[in-house]
Amino acid sequence: MSLDIFRDERGFLSRAREIAEKIRFLIDEGSKFLVICHVDADGLSSGAIVSAMLLRDNARFVTRAVGEFEDALKYLVDLPAAYIPILVDMGSGYLNELSKLSPSRPIIILDHHEPMGSAPANVIQLNPHFHGINGSEEVSGAGVAYLVAKALNEENILLSPVAVTGALGDLQDRFDGRSLHGFNERIVEDAVKAGLLRVEEDLLFYGRSSKPIHVAMASTMNPFIVGISGNEANAYSLLTEIGIRVKDDDRWRVLSELSEDEKKQLYNGILKYLASLGLPPSMARELVGKVYELTMEEPWTYLRDAREFASLLNACGKTGNEWLGISIAMGGRGALLEEAQRVLEDYRRRLAEAIEYAMRDECRQELKNLLVIDGGGVIDDRLISSVASMLSSMGLQGDKHILVALAQSEDSIKVSARASRKLVEMGLNLGKLLAEVAELVGGRGGGHDVAAGASIPKTRKALFLLELDRAVEEKLSGTR
């Protein structure tokens, strides 16, 4: 669907209210709900928002997080008649599959991915693309869920920080100063007005107010700084080399304690470090921008900074701890948070190792339009989307190539691809291309214009890459 249609923001909000009214009717009727969400940070945020929304209104529900839409279909096929499914952060890209299910039961979709196929009459759908709003950058799945939750009950404004977290987890902070815009800005305003969020500009190291500076640097994965991310010793060495004092007496200093001059000194030191490795300075620019701070969270937790919160949710989802992430996003703390923080530390270590492996020359293959990173069976397939995002944030593929990261699972190959905004402006839609090419080789794919994924048969890897390279060339021919 083209975004060149009339932009209808009022229609988008009106549709959110209509769906909220439908949910209200179903709750009052005594319906039960099955909430199905994706396992990434935006998906778990979305699932938590809808779950909290239903819980506030004393509705009966079950929530499930899935990695593939096939798993969602399995739940839907066997779903008891008393349950109404609500698909969040998924569904719009698989309308044809949904049309094969029983038409007697309503299916509610709250999604921001570009719709593909024709929706059957029983599908009740809220999607920004139907209103000329770009779901890949202006509102996340969590944002769509939040708009319905707020329309259902004004008290659900308390969920606005979770929606901001989902948008950051979906990497929608692609604008000047790493800021959110579009409908995401409206949600930020809700959270700020409610006293739940504070926004300021600073260096974007994780743990800026809670971790020793070198630990905060090593904990930062977006952007991924080669040799620093995941390596506290190297971060410590860099700080001492550039003359940043890391301790006051016996107490470690944190980033928020640095003076403005010290922050500039640190930033310039990182620039020189990147130059010494032959890496572009644009990577360092990604370290400065808007900080979204959740004011009601304790400063020492991973929940204070919304980007850290998103990383924690992503870690839970990518390690089989989806329930833990949803519980935290719904307000669970104490022992649950301690366990989630342990999961995040282990996840960061594994992700740093995966990035280091992906940077090896033997993992790379360059086609005319693709830069392929093949993790084989070494990189966990559950990490491959995060690996693709990290490598893309480093500018590894440049503006002319699509970055395609691969990892082998038990019965298929997982694909995660990223395109530059420049290629999208030239007419490329990565989600549509991956859907078409994956289907051609017997797989399934989809996503956004700049970020998409697929699952393909193990024996079709070479054919998939050649067909994707051909499809990109065909789409961009005459525009370069």
Lowest mean pLDDT among 154-158, 399-403, 460-464: 399-403
Helix (H, G, I), strand (E, B) or coil at 412: coil
Q: Is 25 exposed, middle or buried (0-12, 13-18, 19+ CB in 10 A)?
A: exposed
Closest CA to 227 of 241, 238, 239: 238
Structure tokens at 2: 């083209």
Domain boundaries, given as residue ranges, for the chain: 9-193, 201-355, 359-476
Whether domain 359-476 has CATH 3.10.310.40: the reply is yes
Helix (H, G, I), strand (E, B) or coil at 286: coil
More reliable by pLDDT, 398 or 391: 391
Tens-place pLDDT, residues 133-168: 999 999 999 999 999 999 999 999 999 999 999 999
Q: Chain-centre distance of CA 381, in angstroms?
A: 16
Query: Which one-letter DSSP state was computed for residue 131?
Result: G
Distances from the Cα of 115 to the Cα of 41, 182, 437, angstroms: 21, 19, 17
Could you give the CA distance from residue 340 to residue 328 in angstroms, rounded to a whole number?
8
Residue 366 has what pLDDT? 93
Query: Which one-letter DSSP state was computed for residue 382?
Result: G
Whether the Cβ atoms of residue 182 and residue 273 lie closer than 8 Å to each other: no
Average pLDDT value for the chain? 92
pLDDT at 45 over 90: yes
pTM of the model: 0.88
Tens-place pLDDT, residues 223-250: 788 889 888 999 999 999 999 999 988 8
Beta strands in 236-278 (DSSP E): 247-248, 251-252
Mean pLDDT of 390-412: 85
Whether the Cβ atoms of residue 451 and residue 171 lie closer than 8 Å to each other: yes
Mean pLDDT of 2-10: 67
Confidence of residue 2 (pLDDT cuts 50, 70, 90): very low
Residue 365 has what pLDDT? 92
| Region 9-193: CATH code | 3.90.1640.30
Share of the chain above pLDDT 70, in %: 98
Beta strands in 409-450 (DSSP E): 413-418, 444-447
Mean pLDDT of 365-374: 94
User: How many other β-carbons are positioned within 10 Å of the β-carbon of residue 448?
Assistant: 25
Confidence of residue 103 (pLDDT cuts 50, 70, 90): confident
Structure tokens at 427: 């007419």
Closest CA to 164 of 272, 327, 309, 278: 309
pLDDT at 413 over 50: yes
